[in-house]
A = this chain, B = another copy of it.
Amino acid sequence: MNRISIIGGGNVAWHLSQIISKTKELQLVQIINRSIKSIESFQKFAEITANFNEIKSTDIFIICVSDQAIAEVSAKLPKDILQVHTSGSVSMEVLHGNRKGVFYPLQTFNKNSEVNVTDIPILLESNTKRDETFLFTIAQLLSQNVSFVNSENRLKIHIAAVYVNNFVNHLNYLAFNFLEKNKLNPKLLLPLIRETALKLQHINPYDAQTGPAKRNDVSSINTHLINIKDLKLESIYKTLTQSIIETYEEKL
């Protein structure tokens, strides 16, 4: 049975620990984090420790810490055991071990939100064929959507993920906030938010586009701009409207 240890106490560490502990072909050996307090709730998944001298024997360390901390954490681990990080933006080369790789789950994780893992893309990279095979074996136990991607392409995919998750979520936040400030119920937007995403499971976003900007409907656009009454929202409205108009002009 393959033995896995997790380093970190954030959202990715939480979800990976949970999934791995539920997978009967895998053994979650230990969860290691500088602050023991922030991983107390991880005890239900495996043994926890804050002491890097108490690290147990394992087959792989999955480092789930912030991008800036990866190199530092990596330097504290045994040199001869495979270590991988889970970051979209960081090169594999920052790792200190002799055997290294990347195990990047392309998903947004919050501790207080369950995620269906089975179709999450897991993007792998390693510096040896043997460790590629090992990573593939583990990843396939967790998801049906596993592929190999080099550091350059992984960074591009991460950039795209920032648009479809971080920026999209922020637009949803701004819209919620706008309705709340106007004493309207933001939950009205939930069916629309859901359909906006689900539609793309079967049509592409170019064809899915609707609304005044696509039609270059200047009258509706101006009505909106007059009624937004918030400089930041107005500026974001103008930037994205202009980009939509250009997208459909170009293709005409």
Residues of A within 8 A of B (CB): 11, 66-68, 89, 106-110, 112-113, 115-116, 119-121, 145, 153, 155-176, 178-179, 182, 184, 186, 188-215, 217, 219-220, 223-224, 227-228, 232-233, 235-237, 239-240, 243-244, 246-247
Contact = CB atoms under 8 A, between A and B. Distances in A.
Contacts of A170: 205, 209, 213, 240, 243-244, 247
B223 A89 contact: yes
B155 A227 contact: yes
Complex A-B, nearest 3 residue pairs according to Cβ-Cβ distance, in ascending order: A197-B197, A166-B211, A173-B205
Given A67-B219, A235-B239, A189 B210 contact: no
Residue of A160, A193, A201 contacting most chain B CB atoms (<10 Å):
A160
B66 A217 contact: yes
Interface SS, A side: helix
Given A239-B235, A239-B239, A240-B170, A224 B112 contact: no
Number of copies: 2
Given A113-B203, A158-B224, 17 more contacts: A89-B220, A108-B192, A108-B195, A108-B210, A110-B199, A113-B202, A155-B227, A157-B188, A164-B192, A164-B193, A165-B210, A165-B211, A170-B243, A174-B243, A194-B197, A232-B243, A235-B239
A230 to B, nearest CB: 10
B174 A159 contact: no
25 contacts: A67-B217, A67-B220, A89-B220, A106-B191, A108-B210, A110-B199, A155-B227, A156-B227, A158-B224, A159-B178, A159-B224, A160-B176, A161-B192, A163-B171, A166-B213, A167-B171, A167-B244, A168-B168, A170-B244, A172-B200, A173-B209, A176-B205, A193-B197, A235-B239, A239-B239
Contacts of A159: 178, 224, 227-228
Contacts of A107: 191-192, 195
A226 to B, nearest CB: 10
A36 B95 CA distance: 66
A66 B212 CA distance: 10
